[in-house]
């Protein structure tokens, strides 16, 4: 009996998949089909899988050609499988020509001709028209967005807005965008969604206008500087049936999501303390160090450090206290925000003029999780226990600048799927805006602050 194996995502099952399975089965007597998990696909950069794993498996079984379906969830598995399942022939489509020749040491490798003019990628784009995105603000953050968006299928960044037309034009030329404008009305004509990367204090107003014009909004952090503003924006998004997502990229990256999952499984017992630190020394002439109202360490990096605190301990802290070291102009160079919860505590440390170890430490009654710097680009973390010899290590991929994950989830939600919205919810955004508000109130009234002048 000749045993054949093939693999794929089989997303939005189509004729090409059917033909491939039919011909794979015809190569032998028994066909095993490996279907990839979403997490595995994500780790190899395939970010837009639409169908959940169970539906993809069901579709493969419904084709009638598979005698057995297995799940593929890690690199190197093919080498294991061909030996484990005693495979005679490994086969895939000709788009992979040559990529699996290394399996020839175990079995025959056959590349079957791919069916022309059809693919899951095409189906995704056909099913939902391409989402045209306009960038609002063309500064330091925005330049990372356009190249990252290229990794997500179904989106096209086509335009840019900046009140300074010259800057918008420069940005459009750099990234070959169709349009640059300093008139918002012109932008609304061209796009289905916007990415807001303008100065912090303008986020709320742009987000509001975009939603009023029925555009989906992906907004850089912080989304808003008060709870009320954040609540208003989410209420407006719900009323208009649009997606509003705060772009805290760490929240959407696979390693961070896994770390939260492990922390919540009880491996380290009850979570008692979360300490997160993010510092980046910033030149004194930049906005972060000169904008007296909205600049400073906490407004700049607090969204990063508050993320694990709010995700792990929730929005219902009993109180928060801020201690800062201020620059001569009154802007915080370094801020510690200490939270008290019913049965836990947390600390956020952020700095633009003080350097510290950028680590995340989650302490529990049975052990702790340590993610060393840069924990916000989560690729590696450890779970440690009382016994120093016992240590669990977790690795995951963080591709490129990492913005592709939030863009991918944004697109997924625009298409009406809810499965990924748990990663960063409206409640999470609102809670963070509430903390920002408290911090700014303290700044206004001269409260909260510690030492002045370095």
- With CB under 6 A as the contact rule, which of the stretches 113-121, 255-263, 309-317, 388-396 interacts with ligand CTP? 113-121
CA dist 108 and 103 (Å) reads: 8
Q: How many CB atoms lie within 10 A of CB 25?
A: 20
Residue 154, interface with ligand CTP (CB under 6 A)?
no
Choose between 119 and 324: whose C-beta lies nearer to ligand CTP: 119
408 binds ligand CTP per the rule CB under 6 A: no
Pick from 117, 85, 153: which is nearest to 19 by CA?
117
Task: Kindly state the smallest distance separating residue 34's Cβ from ligand CTP, in Å.
Answer: 10
Q: Which of 4, 5, 10, 434 binds ligand CTP (CB under 6 A)?
A: 10
- Taking CB under 6 A as the criterion, the residue among 114, 208, 293, 417 binding ligand CTP is 114
Does 212 bind ligand CTP (CB under 6 A)? Our answer is no
3-class DSSP assignment, residue 199: coil
Closest to ligand CTP by CB, 20 or 310: 20
249: DSSP letter: G
User: Which of 4, 27, 66, 93 forms a contact with ligand CTP (CB under 6 A)?
Assistant: 93
Coil, helix or strand at residue 381: strand
Q: Quick one: which segment of 115-123, 244-252, 342-350, 354-362 binds ligand CTP (CB under 6 A)?
A: 115-123
Which one of residues 11, 220, 229, 332 is an interface residue with ligand CTP (CB under 6 A)?
Answer: 11
C-alpha 197/C-alpha 138 separation (Å) is: 7
Instruction: Give the DSSP H/E element, type plus range, for residue 397.
Output: none
Least distance from C-beta 3 to ligand CTP, angstroms? 17
Q: Does 92 bind ligand CTP (CB under 6 A)?
A: yes
Segments in 44-131 forming alpha helices (H): 53-62, 77-84, 120-127
Q: Are 281 and 352 in contact (CB under 8 A)?
A: yes
- CB count within 10 Å of CB 315 equals 15
DSSP annotation string for 399-447: -TTSHHHHHHHHHHHHTT--TTGGGS-HHHHHHHHHHHHHHHHHHHTT-
* Residues 18-77 interacting with ligand CTP (rule: CB under 6 A): 20
Binding segment toward ligand CTP, per CB under 6 A, in 4-12, 184-192, 292-300, 346-354: 4-12
Residue with smaller CB distance to ligand CTP, 47 or 383: 47
Give residues in contact with ligand CTP (CB under 6 A).
6, 8-11, 16-17, 20, 92-93, 95-96, 114-115, 118-121
């Amino acid at each position: 009996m000749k045993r054949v194996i093939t693999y794929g995502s089989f997303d939005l099952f189509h004729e090409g998949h059917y033909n491939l399975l039919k011909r794979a089965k015809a190569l032998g007597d028994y066909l095993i089909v490996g279907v990839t998990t979403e997490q595995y696909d994500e780790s190899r950069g395939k970010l837009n899988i639409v169908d959940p794993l169970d539906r993809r498996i069901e579709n493969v079984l419904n084709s009638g050609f598979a005698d057995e379906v297995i799940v593929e969830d890690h690199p190197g598995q093919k080498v294991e499988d061909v030996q484990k399942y005693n495979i005679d022939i490994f086969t895939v489509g000709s788009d992979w020509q040559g990529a699996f020749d290394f399996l020839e040491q175990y079995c025959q490798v056959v590349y079957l001709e791919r069916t022309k003019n059809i693919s899951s990628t095409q189906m995704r784009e056909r099913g939902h028209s391409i989402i045209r995105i306009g960038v609002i603000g063309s500064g330091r953050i925005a330049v990372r967005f356009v190249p990252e968006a290229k990794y997500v299928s179904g989106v096209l960044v086509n335009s840019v807005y900046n009140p300074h037309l010259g800057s918008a034009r420069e940005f459009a030329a750099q990234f070959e965008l169709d349009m640059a404008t300093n008139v918002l009305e012109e932008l609304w004509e061209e796009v289905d969604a916007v990415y807001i990367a303008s100065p912090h204090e303008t986020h709320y107003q742009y987000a509001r206008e975009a939603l009023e014009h029925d555009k989906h909004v992906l907004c850089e952090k912080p989304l808003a500087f008060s709870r009320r503003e954040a609540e208003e924006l989410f209420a407006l998004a719900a009323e208009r049936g649009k997606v509003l997502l705060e772009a805290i990229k760490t929240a959407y990256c696979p390693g961070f999501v896994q770390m939260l999952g492990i922390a919540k499984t009880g491996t380290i017992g009850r979570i008692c303390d979360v300490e997160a630190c993010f510092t980046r020394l910033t030149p004194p002439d930049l906005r972060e160090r000169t904008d007296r109202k909205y600049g400073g360490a906490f407004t700049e990096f607090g969204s990063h450090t508050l993320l694990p605190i709010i995700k792990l301990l929730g929005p219902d802290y009993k109180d928060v206290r801020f201690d800062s070291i201020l620059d001569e102009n009154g802007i915080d160079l370094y801020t510690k925000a200490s939270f008290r919860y019913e049965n836990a505590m947390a600390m956020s440390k952020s700095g633009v003029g003080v350097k510290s170890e950028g680590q995340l430490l989650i302490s529990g009654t049975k052990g702790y999780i340590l993610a060393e710097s840069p924990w916000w680009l989560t690729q590696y973390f450890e779970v440690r226990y009382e016994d120093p010899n016992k240590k669990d290590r977790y690795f995951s991929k963080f591709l490129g600048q990492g913005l592709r994950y939030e863009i991918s989830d944004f697109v997924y939600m625009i298409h009406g799927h809810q499965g990924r919205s748990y990663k960063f919810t409206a409640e999470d955004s609102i809670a963070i805006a509430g903390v920002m508000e408290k911090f700014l109130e303290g700044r206004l009234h001269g409260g909260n602050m510690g030492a002045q002048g370095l």
